Amino acid sequence: MVKKLFSSKKSITNNRTLQSVLIVIVIACLLTPRNLHAQSATVDTTKAMAPLIQQVAAKTTYPKTIGYLSFIIPVVTFNKNATTFNFNGTTSIGFPVGVNVLYSDRFGFSYEFTPTIKSTGGANGTSKVSNVLFDPGTMFRFDHGFTIITRLAFETSGRYGFTPVFNQVYARSKYVNYFVALSLPARFGNSEVPSLGMNVQFGFTFN
C-alpha cells in the first residue's frame, strides 16, 4: 500500500513537472513572435523616420544671404508719344547683380544694381554705359520656385519709378539655381513723359 501511494505521488509530481515545462515552452513560443515583431517595428520606424530626420537637419536657417548674376534685355517701351523696340537701330543690354536676404520661406529683401550698355550701329556707331539703376525691393516667395519682387527704381539718367518682377526658378543644381524673370518697369521724371516697359531677365543665384 505504501509503495502504491509513493508511486502515485511520484507520478503526480512528474506530471506537474511535465505540465510546467510545457507551459514554459508555450509561453516562450507566444512571447517570441511578439519580441521579433517589436524589433521589426522599431527598425521599420527608424527607417521611416530617416527622411524626416534628414529634412530637419537640412532645414534652412534664416536669415540667409545669397548673391546672383544675370543679364536683362529690354524688349519694348511704351509712352503716349511712341513705342520703342530694342534691337531697332540701337541695342541695350543690362547686367543686374545683387544680393537677396531671405528672412523666411516666404519673404526676403533684394538689393540690385544694373549697369546698362547701349550701342548704336552705323559708321559712327558707339557703345557706352548709358545708365546705372539701383532697384531694391521686397520678395514674396511662393511654392515651386516662383517669386514676385516689388522694386523701387532710381536711375543715374534721372528717371525713377517702380518695377514689378515675376521670377521663376527653372533649374536647380548643387551650387547654383537658374532663373528667368519678366519685369514691367514704370518710369517717371527728368522732364520726360511717363513710360512703361517690358524686360526679360536670365540669371543664376549662388546656393
102 and 78 in a common domain: yes
Quickly list DSSP for 77-139.
Answer: EE-SS-EEETTSSEEEEE--EEEEEE-SSSEEEEEEEEEEEEEE-STT--EEEEEEEE--EEE
Residue 13: its pLDDT value, please?
47
136 and 48 in a common domain: no
The domain tally of the chain equals: 2
Residue 57: its pLDDT value, please?
46
Q: How confident is the model at residue 34 (pLDDT cuts 50, 70, 90)?
A: very low
Full residue range of the structural domain in which residue 160 is found: 64-206
153 and 114 in a common domain: yes
15 and 83 in a common domain: no
Of the chain, the percentage scoring pLDDT greater than 90 comes to: 67
70 and 55 in a common domain: no
25 and 77 in a common domain: no
Domain boundary among 59, 75, 104: 59
Residue 128, phi then psi, degrees to nearest 5: -160, 165
146 and 54 in a common domain: no
pLDDT digits (tens, 9 = 90+) for 65-104: 999 999 999 999 999 999 999 999 899 999 999 999 999 9
71 and 172 in a common domain: yes
Q: How confident is the model at residue 59 (pLDDT cuts 50, 70, 90)?
A: confident
45 and 111 in a common domain: no
179 and 129 in a common domain: yes
Least confident of 44-48, 106-110, 114-118: 44-48
Q: How far is CA 48 from the centre of its chain?
A: 24
82 and 131 in a common domain: yes
Q: How confident is the model at residue 121 (pLDDT cuts 50, 70, 90)?
A: confident
Tell me the CA distances in angstroms from 57 to 42, 44, 61, one per residue in order. Answer: 21, 20, 10
More confident site: 181 or 5: 181
pLDDT digits (tens, 9 = 90+) for 5-27: 444 444 544 555 545 545 545 45
Cβ atoms 29, 36 nearer than 8 A? no
